[in-house]
Amino acid sequence: MSDDPESHDLEDVSLDPDEKLPDADEVFETYFAPWYEPDDIDRREYAGARPDLEEELPVGEAAGELSPLYPDDQEEVAEQIRVMAEAAGEDWPELLGVEGSLSLELIDAFDRHFNRAEVADVIADADPEDYGSDLVVLCCELGAVLGEVMRREAPELEWLYDWPYWESSLYDSRHGYRINVFDWAFKKFSEDGVEDGLRSKVLRCLGLVRFGT
């Protein structure tokens, strides 16, 4: 849990000190930061991965009004997130050996499949200069799926679109929460979150959305 009272990391599992993976900041800086335009990277508040949840946004606003993007650009980002979520819905059942549409159960199956050893293999195979590496694709699919599943469970959540599209987050207008679901994915593929447990993390976050801090 972050020391910052305005931000929350939702992990609750102590990690094995042996066989360390890169931390989430290193994953972001190595495999995602190179794809930013200078202006986009400069306006980030964090050099690396963001907190799981931030309490920094005004309440009672429309997500579209809070986005830094023009409406047409928001539509483009929405389409990219939709495409990534649909791709996961097509690819994951075969990859994971499970059936069904996007759901908390599918997220849990993904989480169990990508254990420490599997994550280490994905990172070892990743080329920082390859935008289509398995690491980048899996992180982006996971972030999109987390967002879509959480929105189905809590329809009051809205996508707050940003660029690149993995800068997008979920906005809870009742509490002013920003839920950085793509950063959850960076952490899943790092030492910081490989063993967090995504199912419990989602449920804890939904509890905050429903009942507040």
The DSSP result for the chain, as a single string, is --S-TTEE-----PPPSSSPPPPHHHHHHHHTGGGS-HHHHHT-S-SSPPPSEEE-SPSS--HHHH-SS-HHHHHHHHHHHHHHHHHHHHHHHHHHT--SSSSHHHHHHHHHHS-HHHHHHHHHH--TT-TT-HHHHHHHHHHHHHHHHHHHH-TT-EEE--SSGGG-EEEETTTTEEE-HHHHHHHHTSTTTTTS-HHHHHHHHHHHHHH--
Determine the structural domain holding residue 117 and report its residue range. 19-54+64-211
Does some domain include residue 59? Answer: no
pLDDT class of 160 with cuts at 50, 70, 90:
very high
pTM, two decimal places: 0.90
Does some domain include residue 3? Answer: no
Does some domain include residue 106? Answer: yes
Which of 96-105, 114-123, 133-142 bottoms out in mean pLDDT, i.e. has the lowest? 96-105
Residue 125 has pLDDT above 90, yes or no: yes
Q: How many structural domains comprise the chain?
A: 1
